[in-house]
Structure 1
């Protein structure tokens, strides 16, 4: 299993075949990952679910504003 490391930087670039993601961990080497459009859709859906949904449902907002 891979060692859990803190994220230092990331960047995402669109390519002809999908996307290229550059990720680096604190004190580690950079890693380029090729992502297909379908994989990017899955990543986006996962992030939306983690944040409480596309419409913000389930995300608590500060009522002081």
Structure 2
């Protein structure tokens, strides 16, 4: 299991294939991750659900998980 470290910073850049995400953790190394457009949509949906299902009422909150893996 990966060690949980606090977020220090992140940076998102659009690329020809989708996106490139740079994540840096306090006390850890930086990590670049490539993200497809479909994965970005899933990330956005997950963040909206975590924030209360923006604009979707109670229906958007159904099925929320603390740890969702895509």
Q: Tell me the TM-score normalized by structure 1.
A: 0.83
Secondary structure at the aligned position of 2:31 is classed as strand
**Bigger radius of gyration among the two:** 1
Q: Say yes or no: does 1:40 pair with 2:45.
A: no
How many pairs were matched up? Answer: 58
What is residue 17 of structure 2 aligned with on the other side?
17
Q: Tell me the TM-score normalized by structure 2.
A: 0.77
Q: Which structure 1 residue ranges, 4+ long, deviate > 4 Å from structure 2?
A: none
- Cα distance between partner residues in 1 of 2:39 and 2:15: 14
Larger fraction in helix: 2
Q: CA deviation at 1:57?
A: 4.1
Gaps of at least 5 residues in structure 1 are: 59-65
